[in-house]
Structure 1
Amino acid sequence: MPGPVVEDISAYLVAGRVASHLPADASDETAVRTVRQGIDDAVQAEELGFVNAWFSERWNLKEAAVFLGAAGVRTERIGLGTGLVSPARRHVLHMAAFGATMQAVAGPRFILGLGRGDHAYLRHEGLRTAGFDGIRDYVDILRRLWAGETLDYDGPAGTYRAIKLGDVYEGPPPRVYYGTFGLPKAAAAVAQTFDGVILPPMMTPEATAGSVRRLREACERIDRDPASLRIVQCVVTAPDLGEEEARTLAHARAVTYLQAPEYGNSLLRVNGWDREPAERLREAMRARQAAAGGDELADTAFHRRELLEPATLVPDAWMEESCAFGDVPACVAALQRYRDAGADEIATYGSTPGQNAALLEAWRARPAALSTTGATR
């Protein structure tokens, strides 16, 4: 029997790189994950009672429409969201068709999570990061297409003449979220345009509180009900996992975040972390990446399990204050700090839904006074 839905906890599926097949020598459950395992994870997340399942796109074995379409026909209730896709990667008609088709496949439970992306990633694909004006207009065009409009547009989101979907989903449109650190410019754009936000992993509870405050205040400035903005905080969870697997999920993943210039600098900024350890890490990674063929980004050159050595340069204190480690009660306490900081929903990140089953059950059973802490939906 499926467990009761827990409205404030969701699961991020197969975070990071995936493989087409499992190797014979996988050291633990998350060392290597396949796309098919990720679809199975969506089914298990629904059975366990997670409210939503999030999936991040990569242009290799992780194309979001294929994955989420498959997950949609194997599930019936759980929300299915991108976390994230870039507007630069899809013509607005393509993205509108993606959202409309997902609603038609799975019912009105698709969430389109958009993000600007790091310039270093998009350069590999011949693409550019859009500005906030372009993203706002892009979302407005999506909503008009989902409503059945035919429209002309010439502006920062492109130039379109008489574009339309023609056949539309006869029901509610997808909700649209934005991936952000919640810094001031992004907060203003979010308040004007989006139904919710996805805050990335490795933020401390104090950073989350700052982002929540900026986002809510941006809503108030335009007379929007702050509670109408759903705030999701991703948190790396490693409940009762071995030390090496936990370090791979946290420290090694942090290598890929900190090494990316724009993303890494934003993470340092919101957390108030010292730049010096990050610069030491970047210097070490430059030599490692040159030896591996000169790929600009650690995230595209290596799997997490290959980054445990440089991961020793990531301060343990940073991970301890921004992730959920240890036994289940310790992880529940860590996640509660993010609810106390104002997040509406926690997305477990890195570990699988099955690995978080006991954590979810303990979260469901925590005192009612704690379960209602944080901002309202």
Structure 2
Amino acid sequence: MSQQEFPELSCYLLPGHTRTPVDALDEVRRAEDLGLGKAWLSERFDVKDAGVICSAALAVTERIHVATAATNIHTRHPMVLATMCSSLHYMSAGRFELGLARGVAIRNQLMGLGTVTNRQMVDGLDILRRLWRGEKIVSYEGPMGNLPYLSPGDWLDAHIPIYFVGFGPKSLVFAGKHFDGVHLHTFITPDGLHRAKQAVQQGAEQAGRCIDDVKICTVMATVVNPSREDYLRKIVARMATYMQAPGYAELLVELNDWDAEVLTQFRADALVSSMLGGIDSVATLEQLEALEKLIPQEWLSAVATGTPEACARRIHEELGHGADEVCIHASTPDEFAPVIEEYRRIKTAEA
């Protein structure tokens, strides 16, 4: 199996809200043709089931890796999650990677799910890795529930990388101790990326690991020569939606060392509080124009926009700021294809 040209680059499939999940098939084929090393899928509980879409994406490709960013440790029974992952691993000759997140607090509550604790995550990782090695789980009772007997078959020997998907400072220290990689977030500034890497390194050192054992993937919203509507829908609406989520935006503000009062005022605005659903799904262009005025330009600038060359240089710079991988977000492979051509020129020039 030949390697991809740019293993340090990846993209999201079905970036944001979608009603046509079949688009993922053309997108992943195109991403592979462009030479990207990986495609990530963010799971949503409508038509973006991680197992289904990752399976389809792996089935129509030969080289590119496919990963979740993210699913959760507690939305599937441990045996079901382990089986999903090992099935994807073996059907793709090892091209599947698992990204796990704690889940959004308000959604966990609405679904009747508890908050994922560190102990639950640690036990969950151990159970998954043991099952993938063909080991039995016997008489387990703990944070992952009551598991009298789990037996996947002793022939299994699947080594599946597990990424922590999140960006809270304490969680990043935790991730450095236990995960193979960290998948960060859109709108993290260079200073925020530096703080994130320091936190991961702290955790790795506490666990007696090397920072090089934990890969850091940062997420870069990338929009080539955006029209006004593109900018509003792909940049402003995305940031506004993150700012809606209780507990979620606070972590981004803390990591980037932004003014928390801005977030408080944003949520108190009458337009924001009247939104019935995620802003990126329900807001009109007129509403997005108004919402843009509530968000500091600094908060919207940690992206790659403009000409293909400008976008490519911003992505290349991100790798220089400490990322092992940059995940292109907010655009499809067809839309960001010119960026990859410019990125190739930059890499060739520096070789």
- Which TM bucket (shorter chain)? over 0.9
2:18 corresponds to: 18
Which amino acid in 2 is paired with 1:125?
A: M
Deviations 1:19-77 (A, max 9, x none): 1xxxxxxxxxxxxxx21112210111011111000000011111111111111110111
Which amino acid in 1 is paired with 2:6?
A: V
Q: CA deviation at 1:207?
A: 0.1
Alpha-carbon spacing, 1:276–1:77, altered in 2? closer, same or farther (3 Å): same
1:164 corresponds to: 151
Moved more, 276-285 or 97-106: 276-285
Q: Any conservation in 2 of the 1:239–1:327 contact (CA below 8 Å)?
A: yes
Which amino acid in 1 is paired with 2:206?
A: R
Out of 88, 105, 122, the position equivalent to 1:136 is 122
Out of 305, 312, 315, the position equivalent to 1:332 is 312
Q: CA deviation at 1:274?
A: 1.4
1:52 corresponds to: 38
Which amino acid in 2 is paired with 1:324?
A: A
Which amino acid in 2 is paired with 1:180?
A: G
1:92 corresponds to: 78
Q: Any conservation in 1 of the 2:4–2:37 contact (CA below 8 Å)?
A: no
Out of 319, 326, 335, the position equivalent to 1:346 is 326
Out of 58, 64, 80, the position equivalent to 2:66 is 80
Moved more, 344-353 or 104-113: 104-113
Q: Any conservation in 2 of the 1:212–1:341 contact (CA below 8 Å)?
A: no
Q: Any conservation in 1 of the 2:237–2:279 contact (CA below 8 Å)?
A: no
Q: Any conservation in 2 of the 1:233–1:345 contact (CA below 8 Å)?
A: yes
SS in 2 for 1:89: coil
Q: Any conservation in 1 of the 2:66–2:96 contact (CA below 8 Å)?
A: yes
SS in 2 for 1:162: strand
Q: Any conservation in 1 of the 2:43–2:71 contact (CA below 8 Å)?
A: yes
Matches of 1:311 and 1:173 in 2, distance apart? Answer: 45
Q: Where in structure 2 are the equivalents of 1:93-132 lying within 5 Å?
A: 93-132=79-118
Q: Any conservation in 2 of the 1:198–1:231 contact (CA below 8 Å)?
A: yes
Q: CA deviation at 1:208?
A: 0.5
Q: Where in structure 2 are the equivalents of 1:246-257 lying within 5 Å?
A: 246-257=231-242
Moved more, 341-350 or 208-217: 208-217
Which amino acid in 2 is paired with 1:223?
A: G
Which amino acid in 2 is paired with 1:221?
A: Q
Which amino acid in 2 is paired with 1:243?
A: R
Matches of 2:330 and 2:237 in 1, distance apart? Answer: 11
Identity score, percent: 31
Q: CA deviation at 1:4?
A: 5.3
Q: Where in structure 2 are the equivalents of 1:1-377 lying within 5 Å?
A: 5-19=5-19, 34-152=20-138, 153-166=140-153, 169=156, 171-181=157-167, 183=169, 185-284=170-269, 285-289=271-275, 292=276, 298=279, 302=282, 308-312=288-292, 313-320=294-301, 322-367=302-347
Q: Any conservation in 2 of the 1:88–1:129 contact (CA below 8 Å)?
A: no
Q: Any conservation in 2 of the 1:182–1:215 contact (CA below 8 Å)?
A: no
Alpha-carbon spacing, 1:201–1:168, altered in 2? closer, same or farther (3 Å): farther
Matches of 2:6 and 2:287 in 1, distance apart? Answer: 34
Which amino acid in 2 is paired with 1:5?
A: E
What is the Cα-based RMSD across aligned positions, in Å? Answer: 2.2
Q: CA deviation at 1:360?
A: 1.2
Matches of 1:74 and 1:305 in 2, distance apart? Answer: 36
Matches of 2:323 and 2:165 in 1, distance apart? Answer: 14
Matches of 1:156 and 1:4 in 2, distance apart? Answer: 39
1:29 corresponds to: none
Matches of 2:309 and 2:186 in 1, distance apart? Answer: 20
* TM-score (ref. length: structure 1): 0.86
* TM-score (ref. length: structure 2): 0.92
Which amino acid in 2 is paired with 1:318?
A: W
Alpha-carbon spacing, 1:168–1:69, altered in 2? closer, same or farther (3 Å): farther
Q: Any conservation in 2 of the 1:11–1:54 contact (CA below 8 Å)?
A: yes
Structure 2 runs not aligned, ≥5 long: none
Matched positions, count: 347
1:30 corresponds to: none
Moved more, 60-69 or 360-369: 360-369
Which amino acid in 1 is paired with 2:183?
A: I
Matches of 1:107 and 1:175 in 2, distance apart? Answer: 14
Matches of 1:306 and 1:174 in 2, distance apart? Answer: 45
Q: CA deviation at 1:167?
A: 7.2
Q: CA deviation at 1:305?
A: 6.3
Q: Any conservation in 1 of the 2:11–2:31 contact (CA below 8 Å)?
A: yes
Q: Any conservation in 2 of the 1:252–1:304 contact (CA below 8 Å)?
A: no
SS in 2 for 1:139: helix
Structure 1 runs not aligned, ≥5 long: 20-33, 372-377
